[in-house]
Amino acid sequence: MNRKMKFKRILAGLACVGALALSANAQAVTLDAGIFAPGAGDAANPIVFSNIVAGPSVFLDTINFDLGSFTHFNMTSTVNNIAAFGAPIFENNGDTEVVATSNTHLNVPLPDLGLPRDYHLHPAGLNTGGGIYSLTMWGSTPAAVPVPAAIYLFGSGLIGLVGLARRKMKAIA
């Protein structure tokens, strides 16, 4: 059997295994985290989905959320008996992925899209037997960063250099 034929058989086998794994064993759960607000969705009072039972084998869930008046999204996860767990962030406007898969999202800036639920997570993984996971989510708005004194020092030094250059140009002329 030549190499090309072996490669085709291996590829066909992998496609069949993938189709079988996703066909009867895939599960999808849709949850709503609501609209984040101070007191219900901030760092002191996060939204917690605990002990979500993962579907058999491969699973892909959906959690809709809206940051409300917050500008940044945060999420941590804990898993039990789940392999390769992660949760990318998608816009609900066209289902476009905006943040790559991760099991933790900290201070991710997300603009307000003006939808009832602007974004959704797709927690996904491989249940290796009795798998459960928990998510803790909250919105935040980072404090404004003050302009450091170094910028003022740099600016005054630059003005001084310009003054020296002008003085030098006058001396040459």
Q: For residue 59, give the H/E element and its range.
A: strand 58-60
The stretch 15-19 carries a mean pLDDT of 48
Chain segment 60-117, per-residue pLDDT in tens: 899 999 999 999 999 999 999 998 899 999 999 888 999 999 999 999 999 999 999 9
Q: What is the pLDDT of residue 22?
A: 47
Which is more confidently placed, 23 or 92? 92
Distances (CA, A) of 159 to 93, 171, 172: 49, 19, 20
Cα–Cα nearest to 117, from 89, 140, 141, 136: 89
Mean pLDDT of the chain: 85
Q: Tens of pLDDT along 43-64?
A: 999 999 999 998 888 888 999 9
8 pLDDT tier (thresholds 50, 70, 90): low
Identify any residues that bridge with 38 across adjacent strands, giving them in sequence order: none
Can you list the alpha helix ranges (DSSP code H) found in the chain?
A: 3-23, 149-172
Q: Do the Cβ atoms of 65 and 116 come closer than 8 Å?
A: no
Are 73 and 110 spatial neighbours (Cβ–Cβ below 8 Å)?
A: yes
Q: Judge whether residue 154 has pLDDT over 70.
A: yes
Confidence (pLDDT) at 150: 76
Residue 1: exposed, middle, or buried by beta-carbon count in 10 A (0-12, 13-18, 19+)?
A: exposed
The CA distance from 127 to 56, in Å, is 6
11: pLDDT strictly greater than 70? no
* Domains annotated on the chain, with CATH: 25-173 (2.60.120)
What pLDDT, on a 0 to 100 scale, did the predictor assign at position 90?
A: 96
